[in-house]
A and B are shown apart, each in its own frame.
Chain A
Amino acid sequence: MNVIDIEALSLTFETGDGPVQALSNIDLKIAKGDFVSFIGPSGCGKTTLLRVIADLEQPTGGSISVNGTTPELARLDRAYGYVFQAPALYPWRTIARNVALPLEIMGLTRAQQEERIARNLELVNLTGFEKKYPWQLSGGMQQRASIARALAVEPDLLLMDEPFGALDEIVRDHLNEQLLQLWAKTKKTVVFVTHSIPEAVYLSTKIVVMSPRPGRIHDIVESDLPRGPRPLDIRETPEFLKLAQRVRDGLRAGHSYDD
């Protein structure tokens, strides 16, 4: 069964300068356990598409199902965890209490909360930082804490919107490696937005290449790299470079140079 099933989806924003077509005729199926990346230049609608899946934006045409139901019911059912571009931790809460935030809202008991906090902080290697406040952590650690917070809901689906975009490359490599290990361990379905070709190819089982004006899918690249944890130096292999080349060509062909 497909976790996400999108058919002929479109979304038009009404702006002061007239309608803007953010998404046009999107067809996409994401199977359980996939790691799917949306890649494309700014304005191609990759974040908007992720937000449609999360029921943070409403499509104006076509159909979409998440977990076999509507995005809204999936959201009300807390079927996904969402990781934003910024860590979005609440500064007045410790790391442990930030992870506990969704659990408090779900009405879990204190004991259940403690158990999930400990387990998910361990998953992102933040054990021992429970009592720290966000400002006491580096940017990479803050983003890991926000991933632990998304995982604490125990969703099958993890939606990640350029989570490592603001981090330097060394930290980013490290977190990419950890994310793959996490994905292999938890067997979740991940939808990941990025504008980095190496990041998309390294992480994904399926790469969705998007192009702007109007936002649409230009190419869907199935990765033949091995599933599960991949060593970072896989990025030097001919198979990796071939995939990266195909994604790069897709981005170039889809990009309009008229502006």
Chain B
Amino acid sequence: MNKPSFLRESVVPVLTVLAVLVAFWYVAALFMNHSMVIAEAELKGLAFTPTETWLRSWALDKPLLPAPHQVVAELWKSTAGLSITSKRSLVYHGWVTLSATLLGFLLGTLLGILLAIGIVHQKVMDKSLMPWIIASQTVPILAVAPMLIVVLNAIGISGLLPKALISTYLSFFPVAVGMVKGLRSPEAIHLDLMRTYNADDFKVFTKLRWPASVPFLFASLKVGIAISLIGAIVGELPTGAVAGLGARLLSGSYYGQTIQIWAALFAAAFLAGLLVLVVGWSERFVMHLMGARPERRAG
């Protein structure tokens, strides 16, 4: 029997999918951009061979769809190639967005947990709050964000906090819903047991409901952290595009800098992936501390 190989079982499939995606992307870039190349040729009275048209489609300054290597080059130039204090560094803009994301995520998580605790323990809150919590998420955040920022600016709150509050607005929801389910997850038999011990609500919460809800909390946090990042980026759009990944997206679209837009998009996606990964690691660490059975790897 061969031992399952990490290379064959994990790396190869991922790289295969990546290769297919990149190939597809190059073909798509060709189709999207070649009319621009032809127009340029006509303008200048030149005649490109098909091969030249191809290569030029992948090397335009402001293509409709930049080729992968252009985005990678832009990412490299704006991270490793610049001082992180530079206004054009993606590390600088990423940090601006990240700090708003983390603050908003923290506040959203706290708010979500507090709401869930109230809802689980008070019937009145369950009946009165739950419809509003759900309704809050049906409002398009793109419509709310500018108003929130303008209102907060008017009362003298600006900078990090307004953006963070938009993250909070988005991230409290999965936490509240997940934690309501988590705090209600103990089985009847576990609750009966607490009743035979004459345990009050507080003891039932600390010794049963809270530990039982931890897996639900982490599932919610994974959604919450990703959505917090989206909130922070959306929050950067109406602020006049000063700093942050959202600002890079916006200024890129002002000036038709599609390569810059795509680089910022990829930086945001990378950041989101990293944040979800960190939450996943903390989950494994906490579940290990709580004595959970180690997960068996598939295969």
Chain A interface (Cβ < 8 Å from any Cβ of B): 54-56, 75-76, 78, 80-82, 84-86, 88, 90-94, 101-102, 104-106, 133, 135, 153
Kindly identify which residue among A75, A78, A82, A92 contacts B193, using a CB–CB cutoff of 8 Å: A82
Q: Is the CB of A105 within 8 A of B207?
A: yes
Q: Is the CB of B291 within 8 A of A93?
A: yes
Chain A neighbourhood of B290, CB < 8 A:
91-92
Report how far A104 CA is from B194 CA in the complex, Å.
12
Closest to A72 in B: B198
For the complex, would chain A's binding face be called helix, strand, loop or mixed by DSSP majority? Answer: loop
Q: Is the CB of B190 within 8 A of A82?
A: no
Report how far A86 CA is from B193 CA in the complex, Å.
11
Report how far A133 CA is from B287 CA in the complex, Å.
13
Closest to A132 in B: B291
For the complex, would chain B's binding face be called helix, strand, loop or mixed by DSSP majority? Answer: helix
Chain B interface (Cβ < 8 Å from any Cβ of A): 187, 189-190, 192-199, 203, 207-208, 211, 214, 290-293
Q: Is the CB of B189 within 8 A of A133?
A: no
Report how far A7 CA is from B291 CA in the complex, Å.
47
Closest to A56 in B: B192
Closest to B200 in A: A105
Q: Is the CB of A75 within 8 A of B196?
A: yes
Chain A neighbourhood of B207, CB < 8 A:
90, 101, 104-105
Instruction: Name 8 extra pairs, CB < 8 A, besides A88-B189, A94-B291.
Output: A55-B195, A76-B198, A91-B292, A92-B214, A104-B207, A105-B203, A105-B207, A106-B197
Report how far A94 CA is from B211 CA in the complex, Å.
13
Kindly identify which residue among B192, B193, B199, B291 contacts A133, using a CB–CB cutoff of 8 Å: B291
Closest to A82 in B: B196
Report how far A104 CA is from B198 CA in the complex, Å.
12
Q: Is the CB of A90 within 8 A of B198?
A: no
